[in-house]
Structure 1
Amino acid sequence: MDAKSRILGILKQRKEEGVLQSELPKLANLSKSTVSEVISTLEADGWVVRNKVTKKSYRIWLLEHYPNPLKNTFRVGILKASEYPAIIMAAKKLNGIVKVFDNSLELTRALSIGSVDLAASPLFTQVLFASLMKNIVIFRIVALNGSGVVMGKTHCKKIGTTELSTMELNLKKLNKNWDFVYFKSPERMIESLRDGEVDGIAIWEPYLTELNKEYEVVKFNELIGDFPCCSLAANSKFLNQNRNLLSRFLQEFDFYCEKIGLDKNETIKAARELSNYIGFNDKLIRKSFSSFVFNRILTNENVLEFVEKEVFLRRESIQPLLRLECLRPKS
């Protein structure tokens, strides 16, 4: 393994913690001069961020894990889901960095600590983090619907789900006498279903469409009506430093929300681009788009009603952190 690969591997493992440059020679088994040369090249190429800690000491991070915003740069986090064509296309248009996470808690935590600048994660999860941390601001609802229950048995007792997610919230709305088993990744949840550890799972697209080939699937919106899934939020520090960049991103996002499902060419392009990040076949992704409503505009008041009714939080705790009408044309 060459010197560059060794250093990048160490930085990837350290994530938001970063590493002192003085530690790298020992950790990578390299000379100080080689480390200094490689870091300077990586910094010039935009791979890493280097901050002075003391007069002679520097801490280094991979750009994607740096826990602070950078001027004219943004990192957007998504889940492994087909809900994000407009996010992906807007990020591509503005040369943003896209990071894919296994679950909503990890993604929303990354937004809160600043290792992503924007995040598309469940509204339910973002509202909870926003009310506690007061450092994220919600700007858009990404889409409605897009999840459901996969039934391994006719009569289910144990249901797999993810913690503090739209799936968990919807399962509780159904008021079934189910025992929940929590998983950190959709792949592990599916494996558990196939092994018989759980009788069914609550999961999102495009897993839902894929699993419908072998299991009975019931979409949540068929049982409880339309519901908001993910919302798009920004870290407050990023907002303060990159308002113009965020405004451009929101404009591009709104543009693509109107195109997906209605403009065939744009829909095909978006599915292919999203496929590069989440790893599913683009035709499966395109098919799963029909489970979502991408162009429904929700207001601050809509979200406040959701918060009071479904999350049982007082609107006063979340109202200052909602800006869903930002850059929307006035009627």
Structure 2
Amino acid sequence: MSLRDVLLRELKRARGLGIDQFQIEEMMGFSKSTVSEALKDLEEKGIIKRRTIGGKIKHVWLAEYYPYYDEKLLRIGCLRSTEYVKFVSVAKNYSESKGIDLIVRFYDDAISLMNDLSQGLLEFALAPIFTEIIYSISNRNSIILGAVASGGSGVYKNVNCNCGKILTSESSSMMILAREFAKTRKISEIAIFKDPRRAIKDYESFKAEYIVIWEPYASKIMGEKMASFSDVLDSFPCCGISVSENNRENRTLIEIVRLYKRSRFTAREDVIDIFAKSTSVSPKTAKASLENYIWDIKFYRSDLKKYLEFIGYPPIEEIIEKIYEEV
């Protein structure tokens, strides 16, 4: 294995912790000059970032996991859902116009996503608004700047199963949808899943009667649609746009959010392809699923207050002030 490959492997393992440059020299058994030359090449290509710590020690990270803000780098974290296609398309257009490198990282759960945001490993987190609110209240180190979209999900019934079990993702808007739907049906069990693809297999294998699922998976799932997101949660957003507390007044990030809110619906073909690959569906299915979202959605402090009341959390003005910023 080449020095370059070893470097990238170890830096990927280290994630936001990074590695001291002298440790790389000692750990890998290469000369100081050889390591320095390899790091310089990777840095010039934008693959790694280096920073001097304490005035002497150089620390190294993969650019993807650099725990500091870099004006030439924009990292967006999101779940495996086509709800984020428009935002990423807007961000990609902006990044290309400004000469900024854009990285999109996909997550299987919203908590890991929000943790990376709070650690400075992302500029944007696109996650269920429920998760963003609870996380912001609990940790006080992330700020919600707006909503992504509404709709795009629903409750489906396997007509060949009557076990009363419903599958939903954890700490998410889908869980709220499952809770509200369960009030109208005889539900024996609410089961949590992390991987939607595995959950769909369980549902289609008659291990659950209902599943709460989002796009693009909803576009290809078998069964009868019992309720849509909008039927149960009205005009509340499904997902939100968050930044870390340190980036609350970051002009670049605020400008991107404002562009997103002002722009008409746009979906770049290359972005659709990225999301199709991440969700294991065809580009055609991913593109078709975009029609099931409500993109022109407003979300102000007053709406956040209503949402807090809806989920059963006291709508205290001081809390709203700390977790939400209108831009």
Q: Which of 204, 213, 219 does residue 203 from structure 1 map onto?
A: 213
Q: Which residue of 1 aligns with 2:88?
A: 88
1:296 aligns with 2:297: yes
Distance in 2, matches of 1:235 and 1:306, equals 21
CA-to-aligned-CA distance 1:16-43 (integer Å, 9 cap, x gap): 2222223334654644433222112112
Q: Which residue of 1 aligns with 2:248?
A: 239
TM-score with structure 2 setting the length: 0.86
- Summarize the Cα distance change of 1:233–1:7 in structure 2 as closer, same or farther, 3 Å threshold: same
**SS at structure 2 position matched to 1:87:** helix
- For these two proteins, the number of residue pairs brought into alignment is 315
- Summarize the Cα distance change of 1:23–1:207 in structure 2 as closer, same or farther, 3 Å threshold: same
Flag structure 1 segments of 5+ consecutive residues without an equivalent: 261-265, 327-331
- Summarize the Cα distance change of 1:239–1:73 in structure 2 as closer, same or farther, 3 Å threshold: farther
**SS at structure 1 position matched to 2:248:** helix
- State the AA in 2 paired with 1:7: L
CA-to-aligned-CA distance 1:243-301 (integer Å, 9 cap, x gap): 22123312331244x224xxxxx576763464365553222122212221001222211
Q: Which residue of 2 aligns with 1:155?
A: 162
Q: Contact 1:304–1:319 (CA<8 Å) still a contact in 2?
A: no
Summarize the alignment of residues 68-83 of structure 1 with structure 2, pairs less than 5 Å apart: 68-83=68-83
After TM superposition, give the deviation of residue 62 of structure 1 in Å: 1.1
Distance in 2, matches of 1:196 and 1:30, equals 56
Q: Which residue of 1 aligns with 2:323?
A: 321
- Summarize the Cα distance change of 1:39–1:207 in structure 2 as closer, same or farther, 3 Å threshold: same
**SS at structure 2 position matched to 1:143:** strand
Q: Contact 2:177–2:232 (CA<8 Å) still a contact in 1?
A: no
After TM superposition, give the deviation of residue 227 of structure 1 in Å: 3.1
- Summarize the Cα distance change of 1:97–1:313 in structure 2 as closer, same or farther, 3 Å threshold: farther
Q: Which residue of 2 aligns with 1:249?
A: 256
Distance in 2, matches of 1:21 and 1:104, equals 32
Q: Which residue of 2 aligns with 1:111?
A: 117
TM-score with structure 1 setting the length: 0.85
Flag structure 2 segments of 5+ consecutive residues without an equivalent: 96-101
After TM superposition, give the deviation of residue 86 of structure 1 in Å: 1.8
**SS at structure 2 position matched to 1:231:** strand
- State the AA in 1 paired with 2:248: L
Q: Contact 1:138–1:234 (CA<8 Å) still a contact in 2?
A: yes
Between stretches 84-93 and 221-230, larger displacement belongs to 221-230
Summarize the alignment of residues 169-184 of structure 1 with structure 2, pairs less than 5 Å apart: 169-174=176-181, 175=183, 176=185, 177-184=187-194
**SS at structure 1 position matched to 2:125:** strand
Q: Contact 2:166–2:178 (CA<8 Å) still a contact in 1?
A: no
Q: Which residue of 1 aligns with 2:282?
A: 281
Between stretches 101-110 and 310-319, larger displacement belongs to 310-319
